[in-house]
């Protein structure tokens, strides 16, 4: 029988999986690029674009080099994750969670549509559970591929399957919109507000709220809203806040 001991007095972040959701144009992909620049001095980094997302042009001027992969199929995605794990990748950015879900639809049903049990047979009757588990498995594979992982997602309003309350969550269907948070250490939301024709204020929050899906796997939460610099250093602001929160909770 094997077992893995761990320290309940953990005061650092040796591994970390984060999900940031926000509106289009809020700066999520740019934040991923900043995250990868943060990781480069420590080891190999990788950006995985999932077919259909294709928003990585904004990373072209960040000097990251040939670290990008595109997953055209689920088989592609699994092979990329295996390769990155073998390379001992340090920081991994994946764009995006809704695109991963759509890739699961294509893999199982041939196109992006919700299957109809009347048309697609017995296997489609439990398609929600199957797709949810398969999408969560994609997150697990990414966590196995690198110690530091940053996923992003567009957001949408959804209804909590348990409470019936409505809030802003990652743009995923059904229970998965809420349940996806369980696969991450931190879930936060990103906002962009135009201050003038040339200035935009970008913020990230992990604070517990009924209006937005958030999560912090930590005893003492980060309650302050974090301001993201325009050019670089945004991930540093986030990671520093997480590090201080972990130390403060010890």
Which of 3.20.20.410, 3.40.50.11440, 3.40.50.300, 3.40.309.10 would CATH assign to domain 16-189?
A: 3.40.50.300
Residue 87 has pLDDT above 70, yes or no: yes
Burial 122-149 (b: 16+ CB within 10 A, else e): eebeebeeebbebbbebbebbbebbbbb
Distance between alpha carbon 244 and the CA centroid of its chain, in Å?
A: 22
| Average pLDDT rounded to a whole number, residues 225-243 | 95
What's the pLDDT tens digit per position in 36-69? 999 999 999 999 999 988 878 778 888 899 999 9
Confidence of residue 161 (pLDDT cuts 50, 70, 90): low
Average pLDDT over residues 5-13: 63
Mean pLDDT computed over 148-165: 86
Domain positions in the chain = 16-189
The model's pTM is: 0.91
Number of other residues whose CB lies within 10 A of the CB of residue 214: 23
Q: Residue 237's pLDDT is what?
A: 98
Residue-level pLDDT at 127: 75
- Residue with the bigger pLDDT between 107 and 189: it is 189
Q: Which of 129, 130, 153 is nearest to 31 (CA)?
A: 153
Residue 9 has pLDDT above 90, yes or no: no
Three-class SS state of 239: helix
What pLDDT is stored for residue 138 in this prediction?
A: 98
Q: Reduce the DSSP state of residue 129 to 3 states and report it.
A: helix
| 113-124 tens-digit pLDDT | 666 666 566 665
Average pLDDT score over the chain: 89
Average pLDDT of span 212-234? 92
- pLDDT value, residue 61: 83
Strand duo 45-50 + 68-71: pairing: parallel
Q: What percent of the chain has pLDDT over 90?
A: 66
Q: Is the pLDDT of residue 249 over 60?
A: no
pLDDT given at position 4: 67
């Amino acid at each position: 029988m094997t077992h893995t001991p761990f320290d309940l007095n953990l005061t650092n972040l040796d591994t970390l999986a984060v999900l940031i959701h926000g509106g289009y144009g809020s700066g999520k992909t740019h934040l991923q690029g900043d995250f990868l620049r943060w990781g480069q001095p420590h080891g190999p980094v990788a950006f995985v674009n999932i077919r259909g997302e294709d928003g990585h042009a904004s990373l072209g001027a960040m000097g990251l080099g040939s670290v990008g992969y595109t997953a055209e199929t689920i088989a592609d995605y699994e092979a990329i994750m295996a390769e990155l794990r073998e390379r001992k990748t340090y920081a991994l950015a994946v764009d995006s969670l809704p695109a991963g879900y759509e890739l699961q639809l294509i893999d199982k049903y041939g196109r992006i549509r919700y299957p109809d049990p009347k048309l697609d047979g017995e296997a489609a009757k439990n398609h929600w559970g199957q797709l949810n588990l398969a999408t969560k498995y994609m997150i697990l594979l990414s966590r196995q591929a690198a110690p530091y992982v940053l996923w992003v997602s567009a957001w949408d309003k959804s209804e909590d399957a348990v409470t019936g309350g409505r809030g802003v969550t990652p743009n995923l269907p059904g229970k998965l919109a809420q349940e996806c948070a369980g696969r991450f250490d931190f879930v936060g939301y990103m906002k962009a507000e135009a201050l003038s024709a040339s200035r935009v204020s970008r913020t990230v929050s992990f604070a517990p709220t009924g209006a937005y899906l958030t999560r912090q796997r930590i005893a003492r939460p980060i309650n302050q809203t974090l301001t993201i610099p325009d050019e670089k250093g945004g991930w540093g602001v986030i990671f520093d806040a997480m590090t201080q929160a972990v130390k403060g909770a010890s």
